[in-house]
């Protein structure tokens, strides 16, 4: 099977991918109580079987944006010799996470119909 | 595998060095990098190797800064707050540095005001004749004639030209003619008015040009003989609120013309402004089929897809096909033969929008503008603006030492370079914005004076979005231009150097600043020299020996209304001792009076070598005496010789062109003109030369004196009187009384010959005035800058001055010390500006056949003026510095 890598780069993202990045982060955080930046990149890589690479340039601006918009909150913890910053969902972020995932599922369903893709039989 | 404390510190420091300064991101990214490095080390890499690999993933500095930037944008929820912050700091800085802000704003406002004024002027000049719907396709046919060694360019064509254009050239949509006949006396009932914007026109005029009819029928207007169309203002003048349509006006007391149309006043920015259009069909001459006499202004509309050059070619072919046979008839030679002898008659097209600025040929309706002045003033506007911008840059960099500490602290506290740049740009844009507002106020205030100077009636186009667009764009541009250098210069400082206090020395001896001061003074000196040169030439014209006496001559216009009483009128007045002499002739040695050009032959043999093309002036016996002409040989016309009706007096130039050794007694020949303006091949008129007068400047000094002949023949358009200078008002009273007696109800118009003469050089005078205004402004701006710069320098050297004074330096020593640097710069500026000015003056004087080339003294004088101004400017500041009490300046040390 042909394996393609999808990179999340900074800036050059289309609106579509930008939107999905937020959804991915929100969904990950709704499944795990709290995560730090590096952990998120690793998790995404692991879950996608290495197909999706989240660059720092895409991740951190988005995380900070979500914080500024009130979906996420942060807490810092001293881990031995340095500080680590964890992100978690606020209650507002929680509902948004559910909505965004629903929205995305709908979107994929509709797009599949239009583009006549049957995900099951590929 | 966990990193050691030293390794973590290294990473944090290195990331910081790579531009990561945004605190919320700093720790987080460090953690991210550390974790990645740890992982890579677990796979077996050494620390540095792992760190490098991690950085490669990030993409080094560029991307780190991008992440930072993006994060910052994503989180700064309130951009307005940022701008507000910039503005607040800018405002505080301006207020804190009141003196410098004031100078900056004053200089920029003046500069911008000049720019706006000139932009308005240029826009107005460029807008001429663009209001016609078909403006881009309308052309005027002009004629280039070469005959008897004289070249002339005429804005007129033969009478049948327009008709032939329409019927023979398919690319011509419609053509129309004008025939100029000078001024007319116009009355409704009793009182005559002198109307000078009267013209004969074809009905097609309304189809070629966009001249909206307010009343009357487009289909029939001007189609009947003895009908006319008048402008709104003329209609109001004669009929007030009455309906002017189908009313009658009387021209020159005997022609009754019915009004069949009223049109909207022709806009100011048009190359003609006719108030009365007379139906061409009433003019016999318009039916002429003569192709060799040029009297009719001819305009046509070209089809949109036609190629002007091709059409021009076709028009010339058409002209030759008609004119050729007529040439053959009269000259007995074919057109080609004449061409080979050096005669030339060529038609060329002038695009309507180009006429105002690019055409200055014979028979123009009005004095046109000049594209060269448009260029010149645009250049001056730009230079003055640059002067003001340079002031801004100069002061900003000069004061960099003050601002450097601010920059250092900001940088240490983690400010990004781009924010410092933005801060400085905000400041310059703010200063520019204030200056623009002031400039607009200033411009509106002085616009009326400017209008008077430039002969315009420009209004501030406050309703015009283009104007505001121009203001906005130029404001931002100036703001950025003025701010960009200081912004990058200042923001590039390394915090460590600044805070160690090492910078102030560097800023004192800035090469760039010297270059800018030199630039400013070069421009000022060029403008001063230019102004002086223009006035020098004007003075030369005023005092030049003209060959006639322009003083104490009064000219009465439109004297033909006196009818056959004209000589009686003259004789009656000359009887008064205060009036020295009087002459009846329309031909005067100033432009705008009558002219008539004819070819003469030495013998009754029409070869080209024998021919001289010259002015033929109709004068009377007292012409020479009244105009103060000087006789070279022979005599002027005299009552003692009744045979003088067949005599001619030449000017020296004409005598020379004929090549007579002893002209008196020789005879010259010309065609006999029939009343209908036609000539026959074998009919001549013969004149015997009785005298030669010294050449006199009957045209502008821009031109060489041409050949001229004078004949005894009635020409009743004007009477000129030479009078006693001390009795001007009595003389005028006398003339008025006599006029009322003999021409009741007619308007009396008079001018003075010297005033008419002065009017010929209006353009030069205007240029001189505008030049001097802009030169003064440039000098003011440059001086303002120098003043502030000197103040700053003195301030910088307070301590040095204090020490010098304590050590025994005198006031004079210190003032010299402070002034000498600027003196040097002015001298360099002078050396640069002299060749530029010399070149410019030479180019300008090229337009004059007679000129006074400015000498060294003029240049030296201008340089001296600049030096003295600079010295005065600096000396105030240096005096203040030098007279300060050293105890004050040294106390803090």
SS3 content of chain A, % helix, strand, coil (to 5): 55, 20, 25
From the candidates B25, B70, B76, which should be mutated to test the interface with A, based on the most A CB atoms within 10 A?
B70
Q: Residue B665: pLDDT above 80?
A: yes
Instruction: Please tell me the predicted confidence (pLDDT) of residue B553.
Output: 93
Q: Which of B5, B32, B59 sits opposite A37 (nearest CB)?
A: B32
The domain boundary, picked from B36, B54, B75, lies at B75
Give the single-character DSSP code of B157: B
Mean predicted confidence (pLDDT) in B806-829 = 85
Helix (H) or strand (E) holding A36: strand A35-36
Identify the pLDDT of residue B505: 46
Tell me if B167 is assigned to some domain: yes
Check pLDDT > 70 for residue B608: no
By CB atoms closer than 10 A (0-12, 13-18, 19+), residue B68 is: buried
Pairing of strands B213-216, B255-263: antiparallel
Chain B residue with the nearest C-alpha to that of A81: B5
- Among the partner-chain residues B30, B59, B63, the one whose CB lies closest to the CB of A82 is B30
Residues B808-825, mean pLDDT to the nearest whole number? 84
Is the confidence at residue A1, as pLDDT, over 50?
no
In the block, tokens 């062109």 appear at B657
Going through B512-605 in order, the beta strands assigned E by DSSP cover 553-557, 579-584, 597-601
Cα nearest neighbour of A79 on chain B: B31
First to last CA, chain B: 58
Residue of chain B whose Cα is closest to the Cα of A37: B32
In whole angstroms, give the CA distance from residue B222 to residue B299.
Answer: 17
Residue B505 host element (H or E): helix B503-508
What would the pLDDT profile of B637-662 be if each residue is shown by its tens digit?
Answer: 999 988 888 899 999 999 988 888 88
Q: Report the percentage of chain B scoring pLDDT > 70.
A: 95
| Residue B5 neighbours by CB distance under 10 Å | 10
Long-range CB contacts (within 8 A, 24+) of B832-838: B832/B518, B832/B522, B833/B521, B833/B522, B833/B523, B833/B525, B833/B526, B833/B529, B834/B525, B834/B529, B834/B859, B834/B863, B836/B522, B836/B526, B837/B525, B837/B526, B837/B529, B837/B530, B837/B533, B837/B862
**Are residues B746 and B192 in contact, defined by beta-carbon separation less than 8 angstroms?**
yes
Q: Do B304 and B439 reside in the same domain of the chain?
A: no
- Mean model confidence pLDDT for chain B: 85
- Chain B positions touching A56 (Cβ under 8 A) are 29, 32, 57-58, 67
Picking from B358, B379, B414, the residue at the C-terminal end of a domain is B358
Task: Share the mean pLDDT of chain A.
Answer: 79
Query: Quick one: B344 and B378 in the same domain?
Result: no
Chain B: nearest CA to A104, how far in angstroms?
23
Give the distance from residue B27's alpha carbon to the nearest chain A alpha carbon, in angstroms. 7
Q: Within this chain, do residues B770 and B810 fall inside the same structural domain, yes or no?
A: yes
pLDDT digits (tens, 9 = 90+) for B452-464: 887 788 888 888 8
- Express each pLDDT in B779-791 by its tens digit: 888 888 888 888 8
- Residue B809 contacts A where some CB pair is shorter than 8 Å: no
Query: Stretch B524-534: mean pLDDT, rounded?
Result: 89
Give the model's pLDDT for residue B401: 64
The Cβ-side half-sphere exposure at B39, using a 13 Å CA radius, reads: 11
User: Could you tell me which residues of chain A have a Cβ less than 8 Å from any Cβ in chain B?
Assistant: 10-11, 36-38, 56-57, 60-62, 64-65, 67-68, 76, 80-85
- Same-domain check for residues B312 and B177: yes
Residue B237 has pLDDT above 50, yes or no: yes
| Residue B91 placed within a domain | no
One domain for residues B777 and B877: yes
Same domain, B251 and B299: yes
Collect all residues of chain A within an 8 Å Cβ-Cβ radius of residue B73: 61
Q: Report the pLDDT value the prediction gives residue B72, as an integer from 0 to 100.
A: 72
| Span B679-717, pLDDT tens digits | 676 778 889 999 999 999 988 887 888 889 999 988 888
Per-residue confidence at B675, pLDDT binned at 50, 70, 90? low
Would you place residue B134 in the very low, low, confident or very high pLDDT band (cuts 50, 70, 90)?
A: very high
Q: Are B299 and B272 in contact (CB under 8 A)?
A: no
Same structural domain, B298 and B247 = yes
Chain Cα centroid distance, residue B408? 50
Bridge partners, A6 (sequence order): A52
Domain count within chain B: 4
Cβ of residue B592 closer than 8 Å to a chain A Cβ = no
Of B734, B735, B731, nearest to B552 by C-alpha is: B731
pLDDT above 90 for B850: no
Residue B13 has pLDDT above 60, yes or no: yes
Q: Tokens at residue A51, please? A: 């197909």
- Which of B159-163, B239-243, B609-613 is predicted least confidently? B609-613
Q: Count Cβ neighbours within 10 Å for each residue of B746-755 and write b for 16 or more, e otherwise.
A: bebebbbbee
Whether residue B319 contacts residue B311, with contact meaning beta carbons closer than 8 Å, is answered with no
Burial class (CB in 10 A: 0-12, 13-18, 19+), B100: buried
Shortest CA gap A68–chain B (Å): 5
| B30 neighbourhood in chain A, CB within 8 Å | 82
Answer whether A38 sits within 8 Å of B67, measured CB to CB.
Answer: no
- Flag whether pLDDT at B88 surpasses 80: yes
Residues B379 and B429 in one domain: yes
Q: Do A68 and B25 touch (CB under 8 A)?
A: no
For residues B141-166, give the mean pLDDT.
Answer: 88
Whether residues B75 and A64 touch (CB distance < 8 A) is answered with yes
When CB atoms are compared, the residue of B24, B27, B67 closest to A57 is B67
Listed range (B143-152, B401-410, B872-881) with the worst mean pLDDT: B401-410
For residue A10, what pLDDT band results from cuts at 50, 70 and 90? Answer: very low
- The answer to whether position B814 is within a domain reads yes
Domain boundaries, chain A: 6-121
A9-13, B557-561, B793-797, range with greatest mean pLDDT: B557-561
pLDDT band (50, 70, 90) for residue B792: confident
B9 touches chain A (CB under 8 A): no
Helical residues (DSSP H) of B59-131, grouped into ranges: 60-75, 79-96, 98-126
Q: Are residues B421 and B525 in the same domain?
A: yes
Q: What is the pLDDT of residue A9?
A: 46
**Cβ contacts of residue B241 below 8 Å, gap of 6+?**
none
Count other Cβ atoms within 10 Å, centred on residue B246.
10
Q: Which residue of A has its CA nearest to B11?
A: A82
Instruction: State how far the Cα of B784 lies from the Cα of B772, in Å rounded to an integer.
Output: 18
Among B718, B752, B786, give the residue marking a domain's end: B752
Residue B15 sits at the chain A interface (C-beta within 8 Å): no
| pLDDT bucket at B392, cuts 50 / 70 / 90 | confident
Please give the ipTM for the structure prediction: 0.80
The verdict on B346 and B223 lying in the same domain is yes
| Contact yes or no for A65 and B75 at CB 8 A | yes
pLDDT digits (tens, 9 = 90+) for B311-333: 999 999 999 999 888 888 877 78
Confidence of residue B892 (pLDDT cuts 50, 70, 90): low
Partner residue opposite B67 with nearest CB, options A10, A76, A84: A10
* A–B interface: beta-carbon pairs under 8 A: 67
For B251-293, write each residue's pLDDT tens digit. Answer: 888 889 999 999 999 998 999 999 999 999 988 888 888 888 8
pLDDT at A17: 62
| Residue tagged 């070869």 (tokens) | B607
Residue B561 and residue B253 in contact, taking contact as beta carbons nearer than 8 Å:
yes
Task: Indicate yes or no: CB of B75 within 8 angstroms of CB of A80.
Answer: no
Instruction: Give B28-48 pLDDT, tens digit per residue.
Output: 888 888 888 888 888 888 888
Interchain CB distance below 8 Å, B67 and A60: yes
Structure confidence at residue A16 as a pLDDT band (50, 70, 90): low
Express each pLDDT in B334-362 by its tens digit.
888 888 877 888 999 999 999 999 988 88
Residue B62 in contact with partner chain A when CB distance is under 8 A: no
Query: Residue A19 — pLDDT band, cuts 50, 70, 90?
Result: low
* B115 in any annotated domain: no
Chain B residue with Cα closest to A53: B57
> Smallest Cα–Cα separation from B794: which of B398, B506, B387?
B398
Cα of B6 to nearest chain A Cα, Å: 10
Q: Quick one: pLDDT band at residue A3, thresholds 50, 70, 90?
A: very low
CATH code for the domain defined by A6-121: 1.10.10.10
| Statement: residue B540 has pLDDT above 80 | yes
Q: By residue range, what is the domain housing residue B492?
A: 371-541+762-891
The model's pLDDT over B154-207, given as tens digits with 9 standing for 90+, comes to: 999 999 999 999 999 999 999 999 998 877 889 888 788 888 899 999 999 999
pLDDT band at residue B506 under the 50/70/90 scheme? very low
Q: Is-contact B571 B530, C-beta < 8 A?
A: no
**B89 in a structural domain:** no
Q: Do B257 and B387 sit in the same domain of this protein?
A: no
Beta carbons of B550 and B709 less than 8 angstroms apart: no
| String of DSSP letters for B457-486 | -----TT-HHHHHHHHHHHHHHHHHHHHHH
B 126-165 near A (Cβ less than 8 A): none
Domain check: are B380 and B302 in the same one? no
Which structure tokens are listed for B60? 């080094």
């Amino acid at each position: 099977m042909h394996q393609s890598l999808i990179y999340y780069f900074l800036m050059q993202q289309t609106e579509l991918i930008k939107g999905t990045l937020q959804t991915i982060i929100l969904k990950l955080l709704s499944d795990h109580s709290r995560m730090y930046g590096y952990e998120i990149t690793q998790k995404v890589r692991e879950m996608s079987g290495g197909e999706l690479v989240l660059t720092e340039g895409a991740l951190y601006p988005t995380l900070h944006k979500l914080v500024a918009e009130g979906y996420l909150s942060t807490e810092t913890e001293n881990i031995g010799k340095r500080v680590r910053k964890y992100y978690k969902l606020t209650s507002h972020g929680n509902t948004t996470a559910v909505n965004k995932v629903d929205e995305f599922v709908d979107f994929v369903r509709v797009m599949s119909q239009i583009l006549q893709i049957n995900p099951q039989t590929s | 595998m966990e990193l050691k404390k030293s390794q973590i510190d290294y990473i944090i420091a290195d990331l910081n060095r790579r531009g990561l300064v945004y605190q919320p991101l700093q720790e987080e990214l460090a953690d991210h990098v550390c974790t990645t490095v740890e992982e890579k080390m677990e796979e077996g890499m050494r620390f540095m190797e792992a760190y490098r690999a991690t950085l490669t993933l990030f993409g080094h500095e560029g991307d780190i800064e991008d992440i930072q930037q993006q994060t910052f944008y994503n989180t700064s929820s309130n951009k307005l707050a940022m701008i507000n912050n910039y503005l607040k700091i800018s405002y505080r800085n301006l207020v804190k540095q009141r003196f410098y802000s004031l100078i900056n704003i004053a200089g920029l406002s003046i500069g911008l005001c000049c720019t706006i004024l000139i932009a308005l002027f240029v826009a107005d000049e460029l807008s001429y004749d663009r209001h016609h719907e078909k403006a881009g396709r309308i052309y005027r046919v002009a004629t280039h004639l070469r005959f008897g060694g004289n070249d002339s360019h005429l804005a007129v064509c033969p009478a049948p030209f327009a008709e032939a254009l329409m019927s023979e050239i398919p690319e011509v949509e419609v053509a129309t003619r004008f025939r100029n006949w000078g001024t007319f006396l116009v009355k409704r009932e009793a009182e005559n008015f002198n109307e000078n914007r009267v013209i004969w026109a074809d009905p097609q005029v309304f189809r070629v040009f966009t001249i909206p009819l307010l009343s009357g029928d487009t289909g029939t207007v001007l189609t009947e003989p003895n009908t006319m169309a008048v402008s709104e203002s003329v209609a109001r003048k004669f009929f007030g609120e009455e309906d002017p349509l189908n009313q009658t006006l009387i021209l020159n007391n005997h022609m009754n013309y019915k009004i069949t149309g009223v049109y909207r006043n022709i806009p100011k920015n048009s190359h003609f402004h006719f108030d009365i259009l007379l139906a061409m069909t009433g003019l016999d001459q318009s039916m002429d089929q003569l192709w060799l006499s040029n009297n009719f202004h001819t305009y046509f509309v070209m089809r949109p897809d036609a190629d002007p050059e091709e059409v021009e070619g076709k028009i010339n072919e058409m002209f030759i096909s008609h004119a050729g046979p007529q040439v053959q008839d009269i000259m007995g030679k074919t057109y080609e033969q004449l061409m080979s002898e050096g005669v030339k008659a060529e038609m060329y097209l002038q695009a309507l929008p180009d006429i105002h600025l690019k055409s200055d040929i014979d028979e123009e309706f009005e004095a046109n503008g000049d594209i060269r002045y448009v260029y010149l003033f645009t250049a001056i506007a730009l230079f003055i603006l640059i002067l003001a911008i340079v002031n801004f840059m100069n002061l900003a960099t000069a004061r960099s030492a003050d601002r450097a500490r601010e920059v250092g602290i900001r940088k240490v506290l983690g400010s990004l370079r781009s924010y410092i740049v933005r801060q400085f740009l905000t400041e310059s844009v703010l200063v520019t914005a204030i200056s623009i507002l002031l400039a607009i106020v200033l411009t509106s205030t002085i616009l009326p004076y400017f209008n008077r100077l430039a002969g315009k009636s420009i209004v501030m186009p406050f309703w015009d979005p283009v104007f505001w667009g121009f203001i906005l764009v130029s404001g931002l541009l100036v703001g950025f231009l003025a701010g960009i250098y200081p912004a990058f210069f200042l923001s590039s400082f390394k915090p460590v150097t600044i805070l160690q206090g090492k910078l102030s020395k560097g800023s004192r001896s800035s090469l760039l600043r010297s270059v800018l001061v030199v630039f400013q003074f070069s421009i000022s000196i060029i403008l001063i020299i230019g102004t002086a040169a223009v006035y020098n030439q004007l003075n030369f014209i005023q005092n030049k020996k003209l060959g006639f006496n322009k003083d104490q001559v009064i000219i009465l216009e439109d004297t033909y209304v006196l009818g056959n009483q004209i000589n009686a009128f003259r004789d009656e007045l000359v009887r008064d001792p205060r009036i020295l002499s009087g002459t009846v002739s329309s031909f005067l040695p100033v432009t705008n009076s009558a002219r008539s050009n004819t070819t003469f032959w030495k013998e009754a043999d029409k070869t080209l070598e024998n021919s001289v093309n010259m002015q033929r002036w109709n004068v009377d016996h007292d012409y020479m005496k009244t105009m103060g002409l000087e006789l070279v040989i022979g005599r002027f016309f005299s009552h003692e010789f009744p045979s003088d009706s067949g005599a001619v007096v030449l000017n020296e130039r004409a005598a020379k062109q004929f090549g007579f050794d002893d002209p008196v007694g020789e005879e010259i020949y010309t065609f006999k003109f029939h009343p209908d303006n036609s000539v026959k091949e074998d009919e001549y008129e013969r004149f015997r030369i009785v005298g030669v007068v010294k050449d006199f400047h009957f045209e502008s000094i821009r031109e060489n004196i041409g050949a001229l002949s004078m004949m005894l023949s009635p020409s009743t358009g004007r009477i000129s009187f030479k009078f006693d200078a001390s009795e001007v008002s009595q003389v005028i009273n006398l003339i008025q009384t006599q006029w009322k007696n003999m021409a009741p109800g007619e308007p009396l118009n008079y001018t003075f010959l010297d005033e008419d003469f002065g009017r010929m050089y209006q353009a030069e005078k205007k240029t001189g005035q505008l030049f001097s205004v802009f030169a003064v402004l440039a000098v003011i701006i440059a001086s303002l800058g120098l003043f502030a710069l000197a103040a700053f320098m003195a301030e910088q050297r307070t301590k040095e001055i204090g020490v010098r004074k304590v050590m025994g330096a005198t006031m004079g020593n210190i003032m010299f010390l402070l002034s000498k640097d600027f003196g040097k710069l002015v001298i360099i500026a002078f050396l640069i500006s002299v060749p530029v000015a010399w070149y410019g003056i030479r180019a300008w004087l090229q337009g004059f056949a007679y000129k006074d080339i400015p000498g060294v003294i003029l240049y030296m004088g201008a340089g001296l003026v600049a030096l003295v101004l600079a010295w005065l400017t600096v000396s105030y500041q240096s005096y203040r510095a030098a007279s300060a009490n050293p105890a004050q300046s040294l106390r803090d040390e």
